[in-house]
Copies of this chain bind each other. A is one copy, B any other.
């Protein structure tokens, strides 16, 4: 219990060399074969593990990577986090997780904490816009955005799902089924998607059918129920995330709208329960895990390079929640 950790000094002493030599051997510097062998042997025998504390202080950064997501409870961000963790584990780096609740202020607070911890690399699903991120980027924090990018920060590499194509596919599918009054049920930070939605819909666009919820379940349900009640003439809805989709299913059921007879539904993000639902939900699948993995990859090889972002494909998975427009 009272045994101090074995330090590099202990190893040096036991091996009969200086601490500098031990450090060199352990971090791949130059050393004569016999010294290297001896040091390595002693190190394993003493079960020496270099303390990250000392190293971090010396080189002014804590190695680890920060991960900022709106809500770890959301299946999508859970998978994204899993991808980041997988990549970080392969690189032997720890991951510091923080949630922002899609709130710019809370996000700033979390960034502050990461900075305080000496974290030099962060993967973030940004909540705030350029004003929030500009100062922190200037501190030299290597940043990669995931899932969405911050307005006015096209210089920050971002790993995104191909929303543009996803929305187009969904809209095409729905219009192809005869739908004309198509709603979009959106969440925070989906401005770009909505822009594509408007563009894809062309003359059919109806601003009243575009509603936004905040991050919470309650807010999503309120938005969905309000939409359905206010505009009973709509025949199809595109939900911008699994939380929104869940709310839409719930609200539709509450209002006795039959899916897909009265209402066709497409949900962004494929989740396991989409298949369990009745009817099973037609979705736009997003490679959440890959997004996380790739983002972590990018942030880890910070080698001065400014890599352009990555765009990952989405996929329309047709199940049973879309049908032809009901004929009045």
Contacts and interface: CB of A to CB of B under 8 A. Distances in A.
Interface residues of A, number: 51
Interface stretch (A44-52, A174-182, A207-215): A44-52
Contact of A276 (B1, B75, B89, B250): B250
A149 to B, nearest CB: 22
Contacts of A99: 82, 85
A73 B79 contact: yes
Interface string A230-266: 0000000000000000100110000000000000000
Contacts of A278: 277-278
A116 interface: yes
Contact of A75 (B67, B75, B81, B118): B75
A311 interface: no
A203 interface: no
A277 B73 CA distance: 19
A226 interface: no
A52 B117 contact: yes
A324 interface: no
Interface in A98-151: 98-99, 112-118, 138, 140
A85 B97 contact: yes
A97 B81 contact: yes
A15 to B, nearest CB: 21
- Find the residue from A56, A271, A277 having the highest chain B CB count within 10 A: A56
A54 interface: yes
A292 to B, nearest CB: 10
Interface in A49-72: 49-54, 56-57, 60, 62, 64, 67, 71-72
B96 A95 contact: yes
Given A1-B140, A72-B72, A250-B275, A53 B64 contact: no
A85 B56 contact: no
A75 B73 contact: yes
A28 interface: no
A188 interface: no
Nearest to A56: B53
Given A250-B276, A276-B250, A82 B73 contact: yes
Contacts of A276: 246, 249-250, 273, 276-277
A79 B115 CA distance: 26
Interface of A: 1, 49-54, 56-57, 60, 62, 64, 67, 71-75, 78-79, 81-82, 85, 89, 92, 94-99, 112-118, 138, 140, 217, 246, 249-250, 271-273, 275-278
24 contacts: A49-B116, A52-B116, A54-B57, A56-B57, A64-B96, A67-B97, A72-B78, A72-B82, A73-B78, A73-B79, A85-B97, A85-B98, A85-B99, A94-B96, A94-B117, A95-B98, A96-B96, A217-B272, A246-B272, A250-B275, A250-B276, A271-B273, A273-B273, A273-B276
Given A56-B57, A72-B82, A276-B276, 14 more contacts: A49-B115, A52-B117, A53-B57, A72-B85, A73-B82, A81-B97, A85-B97, A85-B98, A94-B96, A94-B114, A94-B117, A95-B97, A96-B97, A246-B272
